[in-house]
Amino acid sequence: MVLGNYKNCVSARAADPAILTASQDGGIVTQLFAFALEEGIIDGAIVAGQGDEPFKPEPVVATTVAELMEARGTRYTICPNVSMIKEATRSYGLDKVGIVGTPCQIQAVRKAQLYPMGMRSVPDKIALAIGIFCMENFPYQGLETMVEDLCNVKMENAVKMDIGKGKFSVYTERGAVSQIPLKLTHKFEQGGCHVCLDYVANLADVSTGSVGSPDGWSTVFTRTKAGETIWGKAIEAGYFETKPIADVKPGLDLVTKLATEKITKNQKTLEGRATFGVDKGLRNPYI
C-alpha cells in the first residue's frame, strides 16, 4: 500500500487569502497550524523558518500566527525540525506541540515517542504532526549550485522555488522564471534520501503536498484519529475549501505513481547496500 493507511483524502486550499497568497501551494500547513493555535489544540508549532542565508531554513518555534506566516513556503534543503522538540517542550514550555516535517522526520518523531531515550518530555507532547510529500532533498551547497549556476539566478534574488511537471523552477523578484529539467538535479540529492521508502509521510497525523491537485491546491491525507478530528474541526470552521480528490486532475493516480517510483527506485539502493563492501553490506534501515 504505497500511500499508507489513511482515513480520507481531499484536494484543499486555505480559505484565508493572506495565507494562500504567499504559500507554496494550497497553504495547508500554515492554515492548519494557525487554526490549531487559535483553538488551543497546540501551544506552538515547530516550522522551518528563514535562516541567515537565502532559502537556508532553520527550525523555529512559532507561537503566533504572525510567526507562522513568516515561515511560509518551501525550502528544498533539510531543516532539522526534530532537533527543536526538546527546546519546544523545555525552554518554551509547550505542552501541545505541532511539528511539520518530511517523511523521514515524521518517522523520527514517532520513534522518539515510542522509544524516548533522551526525549522524556516528548511522547505525550506531540499534538499535531503534519508531514509533507517528499521525493528527495538537497544539501544547501547543492541547492545553491542548482539555483546560481544552472538556473543563473542569485539566491538573494529568488522569491520562490518549486518542483513539478519534471522541472525545478526558480521565480525571481522581477517575475522571471528559470527552469531546469529534474534530471539535472539528481546528482545534488542527499544520499540518505535514496534509502527512504516513504513519499507521502505515512506516519503523520495529516500529510500534504501539491502532487495530485490542480495548481494552487494541495492533496491532503488525514491518517490518524487526531488528524481526522483536527482537520474535521478546521473544515467545519471554514478554514479550508475542499474538493473530492476523485473530482480533480491529475488526482490520486499521480500520487500513487510517484510513491511507487520512489519505493521501487530506493528499494534497489537498499538491495545494493546489502552487498556493498567486502563480505559485509550496509544495514537496511527498514529492518
158 contacts: CB under 8 Å, gap ≥ 6:
54, 55, 147, 170, 171, 172, 173
75 φ/ψ angles, rounded to the nearest 5 degrees: -120, 125
271, pLDDT greater than 70: yes
| pLDDT, position 23 | 83
| pLDDT, position 278 | 64
Reported as a pLDDT band with limits 50, 70 and 90, residue 286 is low
CA atoms within 13 A on the CB side of 124: 3
Percent of the chain residues topping a pLDDT of 90: 84
Q: Kindly report the three-state secondary structure assignment for every residue of the chain.
A: CCCCCCCEEEEEEECCHHHHHHCCCCCHHHHHHHHHHHCCCCCEEEEEEECCCCCCEEEEEECCHHHHHHCCCCCCECCCHHHHHHHHHHCCCCCCEEEEECHHHHHHHHHHHHCCCCCCCCCCCEEEEEEECCCCCECHHHHHHHHHHHCCCCHHHEEEEEEECCEEEEEECCCCEEEEEHHHCHHHCCHHHHHCCCCCCCCCCEEEECCCCCCCCEEEEECCHHHHHHHHHHHHCCCEEEEEHHHCCCCHHHHHHHHHHHHHHHHHHHHHHHCCCCCCCCCCCCC
Cα–Cα dist 2/118, whole Å: 32
99-142 confidence digits (pLDDT tens): 999 999 999 999 999 998 888 888 999 999 999 999 999 999 99
163-173 confidence digits (pLDDT tens): 988 999 999 98
CB 235 within 8 A of CB 48: no
More confident site: 74 or 31? 31
Cα–Cα dist 136/160, whole Å: 18
More confident site: 148 or 24? 148
List C-alpha distances in Å: 109 to 7, 46, 119, 122, 215: 21, 12, 10, 9, 30
Reported as a pLDDT band with limits 50, 70 and 90, residue 56 is very high
172-191 confidence digits (pLDDT tens): 989 999 999 999 999 999 98
Cα–Cα dist 44/98, whole Å: 6
187-234 confidence digits (pLDDT tens): 999 988 999 999 999 999 999 999 999 999 999 999 999 999 999 999
CB 202 within 8 A of CB 5: yes
| pLDDT, position 279 | 66
Cα–Cα dist 113/127, whole Å: 12
List C-alpha distances in Å: 119 to 91, 182, 201, 228, 231: 14, 38, 22, 26, 27
